Structure 1
């Protein structure tokens, strides 16, 4: 019998792997954004 696939066409294992990479990318992007904001704030503080 064929593997159970969702609407996306991914198996459960493939979807979990994709989710892992997606979350890692999101966390990486957020970390870079936080560092960039800290550096810009150190250069030209706002709300002072």
Structure 2
């Protein structure tokens, strides 16, 4: 959580790389399930790292 209570780019990247990938089984060396991720275009959801 950020001090402001809002999601920022760093927090969103940490969520996707950590929590989301762990729970979706997107760990290196495992079979990857078909997953559709929908973005809403919010500035905190857009970064070169995530692309």
- What band does the TM-score fall into relative to the shorter chain? 0.3 to 0.5
The structure with the largest alpha-carbon Rg is 1
Normalising by the residue count of structure 1, what TM-score does the alignment of the two structures yield?
0.34
Normalising by the residue count of structure 2, what TM-score does the alignment of the two structures yield?
0.33
> Which has the larger share of helix?
1
